[in-house]
Amino acid sequence: MIEIGKTLVSLDVVEKQFVCDLNACKGACCIHGDSGAPLEDGEETILEEIYDDVEPYLTEKGKKAIKKYGKWLVDSDGDKVTPLVGGDKECAYTIFENDIAFCGIEKAYRDGKVKWAKPVSCHLYPIRITNGKRNVLVNYEKWDICKPACACGEKLKVPVYKFVKNALLRKFGKEWYQQLELAADYIESKK
């Protein structure tokens, strides 16, 4: 583990390689899972505020799910999450282009309709954040649907932390990220 301030970063974050390969996985992380995208405190308020600007981007199934379940909900683990279509399918905010799943919120953001790109948990993926008693845990989540991303990352030689650099900067800030880079460089020099 790498300790940076009150965070503990798994070595997998710097040692594993990862680059999304949407042509291979088709955006499966937006479609599969036990519940919707985890939301940080305050993100549910953002979803409420931006929904009218995001709604035109969403599928009819997504809009129906949001009407039925709400713009966000609390799952069986007690976590705030985005709703799922049918309660167990893709995230209600998922859109499809050329049979590839994308985020409707992110599309609205890129079009300048909203100022929030998407939930931090989605931006960070394949990193998952867990709040421990004393520390924030920063872990790489290995998921079979991401095998193409692992292969692509290995081919391109891009470690997880570099692939999600902008998301880590968004979550933890520039100084934190610079400390992670220093730790990663040190680990690499010892191989």
| pLDDT tens string 91-100 | 999 999 999 9
| Rounded CA separation 175/167 (Å) | 14
User: E strands of 24-179, at which residues?
Assistant: 73-74, 80-81, 94-97, 100-103, 127-131, 136-140
Q: What is the pLDDT of residue 86?
A: 80
| Rounded CA separation 139/123 (Å) | 14
| Rounded CA separation 181/68 (Å) | 44
Residues contacting residue 39 through CB under 8 Å, at least 6 positions apart: 47, 72, 79, 80, 81, 82, 119, 121
Predicted TM-score (pTM) above 0.75:
yes
| pLDDT tens string 159-177 | 999 999 999 999 999 999 9
Give the SS3 label for residue 67. Answer: helix
Q: What is the pLDDT of residue 189?
A: 83
| Neighbour count for residue 130 (Cβ, 10 Å) | 11
| Rounded CA separation 101/25 (Å) | 9
